[in-house]
Amino acid sequence: MSTPQEIAVVGAGLTGSLLACYLARRGHKVALYERRPDPRTGDGERGRSINLALSERGLDALRRIGLERRVMAGALPMSGRMIHPVAGGLDFQPYSRDGGKAIHSIGRSALNAALLDAAEAAPGVRVHFGHRLTGADFAAGALRFETPGGTVHADAPVILGADGAGSAVRAQMAASGAVREKVAFLDHGYKELTIPAAGGGFALDPGALHIWPRGGSMMIALPNPDRSFTCTLFWPRDGASGFAALDGPAAVERHFRTRYPDVPPLSPGLVDDYLRNPVGRLGTVHCDRWLVPGRGAALIGDAAHAIVPFYGQGANCAFEDVVELDRCLTETAGRWDRALPLYEERRKGNADAIGRMALENFTEMREKVASPAFKLARKADHA
Ligand code: FAD
């Protein structure tokens, strides 16, 4: 089990593509299976988290394989949060005392493309788009995929599930009795909106992560290289105070004019965006084990531990998984039977912790960042 022929990585999102790069660097052959067509040739999915914030945790993983510069070329540093109260006026809260530390707004598809390019360029990596995993036998190391050309079977002594929050690999593990999974969904969902560039420039300060804390709801905005901002509105999915309550253009306009009054003048397409873009679900994946004991099969990234996005740490945490798995392989001289349990032991507690913190941070972001008590506490911190 120490030098497997070909490792199967299921899911060529952020985690799977990065993982393929790391495994190729170790000299492994990698078959990377992705259910979608090549995302570099399409338009992307409307309303699905267009950008994300990468912090030092994620950058470290890119730096180790020489990708930091390429990815950072399209990144925008955000050195604090800019609070937008209903009453107007802005409040900038720096992330560090001297304002020198920043998180970075990065386009999801550009990041995925950079990772896929790197994986494809690595010796030994083959990417199979249009392959949706539908079956797995972990004892036999056998996989089944549905493809546009029909059913395809593959073998691999090591199978790594990097197929996201709704992981089919995890479902197969659960069906075999190896793991117990639960997904705890929030009542809140999210919808993406856009503030376009204004007169060729940014309509808001691009050096900040913008937050509109409104108690039961919240909106954030991150800058993009084309000088637009992608806004994400978090609100209950159902009920009289939530997305479902705004049933037409007039209701949408009225709501934003009263609750987010500085936004409509900056976003001419706001009503259309609101009515056309889908409401995404948010949840935390709880999985008691990340591997099939005694078999070369494990989960990584969102497949193991999807979290709510309020700390902006899901992808960062997934990238740390990859670095840790690589470290475990080094420490065990490439023995997968020892490396996988070690990886699970070292990462699971950390992932559980950031999952809890992300839920707690939702309360802070939508309520506390605007409260007088919070501001006093910050002043004391920075005194
Ligand atoms: P995914 O990105 O979900 O990729 C999984 C891949 O597997 C996909 O390509 C999918 O097509 C493929 N796949 C799925 N099923 C199959 C199958 N059966 N067979 C083959 N392939 C399959 N994180 C941050 O670090 N910072 C942020 O600011 C941030 N903001 C976020 C904002 C929102 C609104 C959301 C929802 C998430 C945010 N995240 C953020 C979290 C981040 O998006 C995820 O943690 C990250 O995408 C996880 O990457 P992944 O590759 O593990 O999973």
Residue nearest to atom 3 of ligand 1 (CA): 164
Domain that residue 147 falls in: 6-75+106-181+284-357
Q: Is residue 129 part of a domain?
A: yes
| Separation of CA 359 from chain center | 15
Ligand 1 centroid distance, CA of 312 (Å): 12
Identify the DSSP state of 237.
S
User: Mean per-residue pLDDT for 23-38?
Assistant: 97
User: Mean per-residue pLDDT for 126-143?
Assistant: 97
| Separation of CA 76 from chain center | 17
Return the bridge partners of 85, or none.
none
Q: In which residue are the tokens 């900040």 written?
A: 208
Ligand 1 centroid distance, CA of 49 (Å): 9
Q: Is residue 311 part of a domain?
A: yes
- CB of 163 closer than 6 angstroms to any ligand 1 atom: yes
Q: Is residue 321 part of a domain?
A: yes
* Residue 378: per-residue pLDDT: 54
Ligand 1 centroid distance, CA of 154 (Å): 24
For 165-203, letters b (16+ CB in 10 Å) and e give bebbbbbbbbeeebbebeeeebebbbbbbbbeeeeeebb
Helices (H), the chain: 14-25, 56-63, 68-72, 108-121, 168-175, 249-259, 270-276, 302-305, 314-331, 336-366, 372-382
Q: Is residue 213 part of a domain?
A: no
Distance, in Å, from the CA atom of 368 to the CA atom of 215, rounded to the nearest integer, reads 9
Q: Is residue 62 part of a domain?
A: yes
Ligand 1 centroid distance, CA of 172 (Å): 19
Ligand 1 centroid distance, CA of 45 (Å): 12
User: Mean per-residue pLDDT for 106-115?
Assistant: 95
- CB of 344 closer than 6 angstroms to any ligand 1 atom: no
Identify the DSSP state of 265.
G
* Residue 48: per-residue pLDDT: 56
For residue 376, count CB atoms less than 10 angstroms from its CB and return exposed for 0-12, middle for 13-18, buried for 19 or more.
exposed
Whether the per-residue pLDDT at 380 is higher than 70: the answer is no
The structural domain count of the chain equals: 1
| 152-180: pLDDT as tens digits | 999 999 999 999 999 999 999 999 999 99
**Atom nearest to 162 CA in ligand 1:** 52
> What whole-number percentage of the chain has pLDDT above 70?
93
Q: Is residue 99 part of a domain?
A: no
Q: Are strands 181-195 and 297-299 parallel, antiparallel or unpaired?
A: unpaired
- CB of 318 closer than 6 angstroms to any ligand 1 atom: yes
What DSSP string describes 148-210?
TTEEEEEE-SEEEE---TT-HHHHHHHHTTS--EEEEEEEEEEEEEEE--BTTB-SS-TTSEE
Kindly report the pTM of this predicted structure: 0.94
> For the chain, give me the number of helices (H) and strands (E)?
11, 18
- CB of 375 closer than 6 angstroms to any ligand 1 atom: no
* Residue 47: per-residue pLDDT: 46
Q: What value of ipTM does the predicted structure carry?
A: 0.99
| 220-240: pLDDT as tens digits | 999 999 999 999 999 999 988
109 band by pLDDT with thresholds 50, 70 and 90? very high
Q: Is residue 309 part of a domain?
A: yes
* Residue 372: per-residue pLDDT: 60
Half-sphere exposure of 220 (CA within 13 A, CB side): 22
**Atom nearest to 300 CA in ligand 1:** 52
* Residue 371: per-residue pLDDT: 59
- CB of 107 closer than 6 angstroms to any ligand 1 atom: no
- Comparing 2-11, 35-44, 103-112, 354-363, the range with the smallest average pLDDT is 2-11
Q: What is the CATH number of the domain that holds 319?
A: 3.50.50.60
Q: In which residue are the tokens 């409260």 written?
A: 371
Distance, in Å, from the CA atom of 231 to the CA atom of 195, rounded to the nearest integer, reads 7
Q: Is residue 198 part of a domain?
A: no
* Residue 50: per-residue pLDDT: 83
User: Mean per-residue pLDDT for 205-217?
Assistant: 95
| 265-284: pLDDT as tens digits | 999 999 999 999 999 999 99
* Residue 99: per-residue pLDDT: 76
366 band by pLDDT with thresholds 50, 70 and 90? confident
